[in-house]
Amino acid sequence: MVIRNEAMHQVFDRDIKVAQVDSTVMIQGESGVGKGFFAKLIHRASKCKDGPFIRVDCGAIPESLIESELFGYEKGAFTGARSKGKPGHFEIAEGGTLFLDEIGDLPINVQIKLLRFLEENEVVRVGGTITRKINTRVISASNQGLKEMV
């Protein structure tokens, strides 16, 4: 990567420092500024770099499916569900990073389950009762003014 701007040097240096800390990260910026690039940079410089990097575009998944895609589901959870259930993106990203792009598009009911994961590192699949402990780092991004949305 070639950086010619001092402000970008500062962003790059900060991302490398953030990568060393096991913390959730929120990246904000306009569309097209490279939020996904910096999420991958943080992942590659972190201790979970050998784990998967799973990118989810929250705005591209229909609202009726987003909860089961993120948290998975148990068999029989809904009509059309796989007979054995399905792990969600949090489980698939075990030991790595889950990048939630355009997180501002998440419905409120999914935000509640996301908060539980961020606080406890636990998920419950749709239609399930078993709490699963997951070791996944979350990096999120948005081009929206999240403070204004709140």
Q: Using CA atoms, how far apart are residues 140 and 72, in angstroms rounded to an integer?
A: 19
So what's the pLDDT on residue 97? 97
> What are the distances in angstroms from CA 97 to CA 62, 91, 115, 131?
22, 10, 16, 20
Q: Which CATH architecture has domain 27-143?
A: 3-Layer(aba) Sandwich (3.40)
* pLDDT per residue as tens digits for the range 40-69: 999 999 999 999 999 999 989 999 899 999
Rounded-to-integer distance, Cα 89 and Cα 87, Å: 7
Half-sphere exposure (CA, 13 Å, Cβ side) for 102? 11
What does the pLDDT look like over 65-83, one tens digit per residue? 999 999 999 887 776 667 7
Low-confidence ranges of the chain (pLDDT < 50): none
Spell out the domain ranges in the chain: 27-143
pTM: 0.88
In the three-class reduction of DSSP (H, G, I as helix; E, B as strand; rest coil), residue 25 is classed as strand
Q: What is the DSSP letter of 62?
A: -
